[in-house]
Amino acid sequence: MKYYLIAGERSGDLHGSNLIKALKQKDTQSVFFGFGGDYMQEAGMHLTVHYRDMAFMGMLEFFKNLLSILGLVKKCKQDILSKKPDVVILIDYGGFNRQIGKFCKKNNITVYYYIPPKVWAWRQGRAWSLKKSIDQMFVILPFEKDFFKQKVNWDVHYVGNPVLDAVKAHKTNLNFKAEHGFTNDKPLVALLPGSRKQELQRIIPVMATLAIQNPQWQFAVATVSNLQQELYEPLLQLQNVKAINEDTYNLLSFAQAAMVTSGTATLETALFNVPQVVVYKTASFNYWIGKQVVKVKFISLVNLIANKEVVKELLQDNCTAETVSAELNNLLNNKNYREKVIKGNQEVYTTLNIGSASENTASLIVKFLQEKSGNF
């Protein structure tokens, strides 16, 4: 089979690469093309566009880069028609991929969605649009299956969560602390600022002030290689901060607490059972728009899956070095509070632990494609 995959950011690239590996095991004649990143390319996909050219965050960034985005959509459509895949597999990246889904449906191209947009959070009417344009949907959060059934009477497939797969597969480097010069006499606090330029520009200054105000802790900032290292400079010039490049899971294996920008990293941190404070800052206009349309009471995946507050969320004006410092101090030094968060993390782990999402999804994809082609 010929597969065309589209991922528009780092987490989708990671999950896409694991899906490719699982598909290869179940379809020995598989060939892969598409939009993605280094992980998908290393897994064997022929890369048309790297996701670093597609990472536009927020309404203002969207309008500033509208022509570039439209150009990428056009290029993707042309590439799909040229490659003639047996199936197009969309991975997250809702705004872009929903357009591609409609295009595939219009051109009678089979299209599946793995990790769909969070329509349960805002603009829930998009669920109808997805049902009309997507042939099969594979969701990774337990409550999503019920949402689509109740909202649009659509039976989608809950396959487990690929973040848990990645956490389970991680082999901890037992020499990590020694190799990076971390000591055992001070708590190690992980700083996870995100993987987008706009996220770092707003949250790094808060993290730097936090580190300056708390010399009694040692900090490690998780950096990614696809972003300019100058973005991390306010942190890297501090004596009690070290950079950990592309090795977040080893960092989380040893951290006693963490400050994490809202996103997939909040779930990763919880699955490593690290007590965390979730933070988020964006442009005032973007935040105001979000407040008008978001339909959920939490922003972090940890709290959404648990359906209760497991971790504290400090957003926008509430996200200051002082408020974060107070929460981290609680997580590190208040035994009862810390144990409560750890218990909540463990409950989230148990909820998601239903087997490999990549393997479950790959099995269903191959099954559906075989049924469609008549090859059993």
- Work out the angle between the directed axes of helices 142-152 and 126-133 (0-180°, nearest 10): 90
Q: Which domains does the chain have, with CATH numbers?
A: 2-160+355-373 (3.40.50.2000), 168-352 (3.40.50.2000)
Structure pTM? 0.80
Q: How far apart are alpha carbons 119 and 117 in whole angstroms?
A: 6
Q: What is the pLDDT of residue 284?
A: 60
How many C-beta neighbours within 10 Å does residue 84 have? 9
Q: Token pair for residue 10?
A: 């780092």
Q: What is the pLDDT of residue 376?
A: 47
Q: What is the pLDDT of residue 59?
A: 46
- Work out the angle between the directed axes of helices 10-26 and 162-169 (0-180°, nearest 10): 80
> What mean pLDDT do residues 114-132 have?
90
Long-range own/partner contacts, residues 201-204 (CB < 8 A, 24 or more apart): 201/231, 202/281, 202/282, 203/261, 203/279, 203/280, 203/281, 203/319, 204/231, 204/232, 204/234, 204/235
Map residue 22 onto helix, strand or coil.
Answer: helix
Q: What is the pLDDT of residue 218?
A: 98
Displacement of CA 125 from its chain's centroid (Å): 23
Continuous H helices in 94-247: 94-106, 126-133, 142-152, 162-169, 176-180, 197-213, 233-236
Q: For the chain, give me the number of helices (H) and strands (E)?
A: 18, 13
* Residue that has been written with the tokens 């300056």 in this structure: 212
As a whole number, the mean pLDDT across the chain is 91
Tell me the torsion sign for CA atoms 78, 33, 83, 374. Answer: negative
> What mean pLDDT do residues 251-266 have?
96
E strands within the chain?
A: 2-7, 31-36, 46-50, 87-91, 111-114, 136-139, 157-158, 188-192, 218-223, 241-245, 257-261, 276-280, 312-315
Q: Token pair for residue 269?
A: 């941190």
Q: What is the DSSP letter of 263?
A: S
- pLDDT tens track for 56-66: 555 445 555 55
- Work out the angle between the directed axes of helices 321-333 and 197-213 (0-180°, nearest 10): 70
> What mean pLDDT do residues 189-207 have?
92
326 or 282, greater pLDDT: 326
Map residue 89 onto helix, strand or coil.
Answer: strand
